[in-house]
Copies of this chain bind each other. A is one copy, B any other.
Amino acid sequence: MWSITIDEVEAIAIGAGILGTGGGGSPYLGMLRMQDMLRHGYQVNVIDIDDVADDALVTEVGMMGAPTVGIEKMPGGDEPLWAIEALESYIGRPIDAIACAEVGGGNSIEPLIAGALTGKPVVDGDAMGRAFPELQMSTHLIAGVKPTPGVLVDEKNNRVLFSHITDANTLERFARDVCVQMGCTAMLVTTLMTGKQIKATSVPRTLTLAKRVGEAVLRARRTKESHTQAVLDVTGGSELFAGKLVDVQRKTTGGFARGELVCEGLGVYRGDWLHIAFQNENLVAWRGGRDTRDTVVACVPDLICLLETETGEPITTEQLRYGLRVTVLGIPCTDQFRTPVALKVVGPAAFGYPDVTYIPMPKTPGIGIA
């Protein structure tokens, strides 16, 4: 068990921003809120995943919706409390611990806020080892954990309880539409699990990983070393590209931020272009000409991460704009997403790219996302 500090919140926000591969929502607002809560006496205890009791009851907490809206539409603040209380009242017993649905972006901080508000410990692990746009893209759900009951809550304390839904894809469709009606962002508390289930099906210690990635960036800033190398030392993977954003097409549609960016190469990449398609998160990266996609260099479920070249700061989908200097990293995903069953849910075809073949990025044993 470890109690999170104000500095660690900053490190987690940076690290989770990078692991978020563009999505998970901006961690900035959550970071400010969490740091302010810690200053005012709130406390968050993170427990190692191995320390969760087999019969403990755990649920996931995260924001659903379009990150482009999340930076404009303020939360009420008590949504995690309302949602967890609604779920506890429905199941008739208290929840013992909170888990992170996706360690990427702002959704790494939301469970911490929920932990602070409810006094419940937060499990060090998540269901993606990154961020993904749709809720069925979860190691728990792919492994067969039931998606319901779950609660969707908005800033007006409107509460919709999905008491029984046949499968995770149907829950995604139902909840997404309610989320859009709630104004395109809402707090989702779902995937109720026993300690035994969460230990068997989580990506372990990803809060710690996000913290280590963030600390590496902060250290590189101080020592003027390469942020890129500092991140890769912790995550594994490799640099894919570096250059300047010359085009961003983005629209907020169906509860998602969808679009494409074009990056013109600089330095050793001069004369080349990188195209990235995204749905909240970066999905596929192609090398090619200004207007042509020639070769896939990385794709889901592996991570395609954009860092501001100057500072190592992660760049989320909603922050993309012409002229930004970016370094693009490819980071190997959790092994749990590399099985044929999982690839049906999180592989390129699941995102509408049936012609893209997933070739797993090489992993360094003991390094990066487990």
**Bound CA span A252–B162, Å:** 26
Which B residues are in CB contact (< 8 Å) with A178?
174, 177-178
Given A160-B160, A160-B161, A161-B160, check contact A177 B166 (CB 8 Å): no
B157 touches A160 (CB 8 A): no
Looking at the complex, which one of B86, B151, B157, B181 makes contact with A174 (CB distance below 8 Å)? B181
Most chain B CB neighbours (cut-off 10 Å) among A90, A151, A159, A182: A159
**Bound CA span A166–B82, Å:** 14
Which chain B residue shows the least CB distance to A176?
A: B181
Q: How many copies does the complex hold?
A: 2
Which B residues are in CB contact (< 8 Å) with A159?
162-165
Asked whether A170 is an interface residue with its Cβ less than 8 Å from the other chain, the reply is yes
**Bound CA span A156–B170, Å:** 11
**Bound CA span A57–B90, Å:** 20
Which B residues are in CB contact (< 8 Å) with A163?
86, 90, 151, 159-161
Asked whether A324 is an interface residue with its Cβ less than 8 Å from the other chain, the reply is no
Q: Which residues, 122 to 169 on A, are CB-close (under 8 Å) to B?
A: 151, 156-166
Which B residues are in CB contact (< 8 Å) with A158?
164-166, 170, 174
Q: Which residues, 152 to 208 on A, are CB-close (under 8 Å) to B?
A: 156-166, 170, 173-174, 177-178, 180-182
B164 touches A157 (CB 8 A): yes
Which B residues are in CB contact (< 8 Å) with A164?
86, 157-159
CB distance from A358 to the nearest CB of B (A): 29
**Bound CA span A165–B166, Å:** 24
**Bound CA span A164–B79, Å:** 13
B161 touches A157 (CB 8 A): no
Given A157-B164, A163-B86, check contact A177 B170 (CB 8 Å): no
Q: Which residues, 62 to 91 on A, are CB-close (under 8 Å) to B?
A: 86, 90
Which chain B residue shows the least CB distance to A148?
A: B159
CB distance from A168 to the nearest CB of B (A): 12
